[in-house]
Amino acid sequence: MTQENNNTKYRHMKVGIPSEIFPNELRVAATPKTVKRLQKQGFEVYIQHNAGIKANFSDKEFEEAGAKIVQTAADIYGKSDIVLKVKEPSLEEVDLMREGLVMLSYLWPAQNQPLLQKLADKKVNAVAMDAIPRISRAQKMDVLSSMANIAGYRAVIEGSYYFGRFLNGQITAAGKVEPAKVLVIGAGVAGLASIGAANSLGAIVRAFDTRKEVAEQIESMGATFLTVEIEEDGATSSGYSKEMSKEFIEAEMKLFLEQAKEVDIVITTAQIPGRPAPKLWMDYHVDAMKPGSVVVDLAASTGGNCAYTKNGEIFTTSNGVTIVGKLSQLPSQASQLYGNNLCHLLDDMGKAEKWKIDMEDAVVSRAMVTYNGKINWPPAPLPVSPTAGGKVKVVPPTAEEVKASDAERSKKESTSMLIRLAVVGVLLLLVGKYAPAEFIQHFTVFILAVFVGWQLITNVAHSLHTPLMAVTNAISGIIVVGGLLQTTDDISNPMTILAFIAILIASINIVGGFVVTHRMLKMFKK
């Protein structure tokens, strides 16, 4: 799509899904479910014959979902407005693409400059799904997180397979089985998924990360957070870890050596976009591990975190440690999540009716690596201060600014409270001067009831409730008591009827509150 026709209203935009040509790639960029979603977005969907067969999706399933089957990749690349892919295209595939085509795919732009130049020469507008910025709005399009979640889960399953024993501890008539000890290095999406899976299988889980901020996340998932006695934080604004000091790395290596002698399964997850994976689990760490232990390296494709890792291979070292440098992709599940990510991005780009390549959009501009015949990589950094376009990133205030702000806010709140009290005092004087004595008596009781009720409600303990449920149930309880006090033997009395209705509604609310709370508590039980 060229810039001139970006704002054109399309009625029949075509989305094409070709077969993946890499033999080890089992995923496909659409599933029958996402095909239906693409159609709801207004697109006509075309898919190459047997494109989904490796992911266990037949042509018949795609046809039943509404897609049209075509025979060759040339039909997809030559007739589609948008092409959805998983792996980056080969140079031969780029030759098949027409000018103005929009392609959404993994591209790894930092490592594939020749491919970017070829796409730019063909005037293909290419979106690198692996370059989606990690900002809050783009989480639904973040394919790296989607795939890392699957990889983290799969790492535990395959690690336990090669370990060959239970992960959970057991006491049986035949004897006692000790729980396995699992060490996860890196607590990103993949690491947290590994922690969750290993913990649910009953293992003793430990996790290490250079970012201190993830300690709470690790511990909340049932793992022990390991750290070194050096005050240094590896967090960065991008969400990835930075390179640490020499002293920190030395302390880290020493910690890993201690753990190597104890743990049964090690899962490494550290990767840096555009760079080889850092070496974290050295040869002497592997040599210190017990026979039968397992190292699962999720960074194998970028060089591996383990010194012994061989990409795409699984082998056993001389001291009996299995090194796993290859994982199953879970192609059906991975294709579904990847397809959802693509659909979310197409949603943001206007679907078929309002399709637009908005290069002012922070997500599109950073992921669109070739545009209108030009290479758009590396992208400009996200703005960190006010710009001409009005985009602002909030800078944390200093301690002095916080103190001044708090003092000013406190002063404003005090002034506001004095004004309110003055207004209330004037109103009470007017009421006391002109209202009947009976009204004053009832009004006083009302004010006291509000005060006592407020104190009662706000002090309700919610150890078995959410705070909201605790307060609403307390209010409903007061309504029930009030309704009971207003009931009489005369069922025709309007006051009795209203009291009965109030008691009924409040009782329903109380019972419903406890039912909802019970269901919420069950969610946190194993």
Q: What is the amino acid identity at position 212? A: K
Which residue, chain included where needed, has tokens 């508590």? 521
* Count of beta carbons in the 10 Å neighbourhood of residue 319: 12
* Tokens, residue 295: 């190292």
Q: Report the candidate in 102, 42, 7, 2 with the shortest Cα–Cα distance to residue 351.
A: 42
Cis omega (within 30 of 0) on the bond before 378? yes
Tokens 């810039």, located at residue: 3
Neighbours of 476 (CB within 10 A): 21
Is 455 an active-site residue? no
- Residues contacting residue 480 through CB under 8 Å, at least 6 positions apart: 502, 503, 506, 507, 510
Sign for the CA dihedral angle at 68, 73, 78, 82 comes to positive
Distance CA 351, CA 336 (A): 19
Known catalytic residue at 139: yes
Which listed residue (75, 142, 264, 297) is catalytic? 142
Containing H/E element for 438? helix 437-458
> For residue 207, what are the β-bridge partners?
184, 225
What count of other Cβ atoms lies within 10 Å of the Cβ of residue 197? Answer: 24
Q: Pick the catalytic residue from 59, 98, 217, 240.
A: 240
98 counts as catalytic: no
Q: Are 85 and 18 in contact (CB under 8 A)?
A: yes
Q: CA 304, 141, 76, 49 torsion: positive or negative?
A: positive
Catalytic annotation, pick one of 134, 332, 333, 358:
134
HEC per residue, 56-81: CCCHHHHHHHCCEEECCHHHHHHHCC
The DSSP-derived string for 128-190 is EGGG---SGGGGGG-HHHHHHHHHHHHHHHHHHHHH-S-SS-EEETTEEEPPPEEEEE--SHH
Nearest Cα residue to 349 out of 505, 132, 178, 136: 132
Strands (E) located in 219-283? 224-226, 265-268
Give the distance, in angstroms, between the CA of residue 279 and the centroid of all CA atoms in the same chain: 27
Length of the chain: 526
Catalytic residue, chosen from 139, 238, 328, 410, is 139
Residue 308 annotated in active site: no
CA distance 63 to 35: 10
User: Active site includes 134?
Assistant: yes
Tokens of 478: 């007061």
Find the catalytic residue in 145, 146, 271, 336: 145
> Using CA atoms, how far apart are residues 28 and 25, in angstroms rounded to an integer?
8
Any idea which residues carry the catalytic annotation? Answer: 134, 139, 142, 145, 240
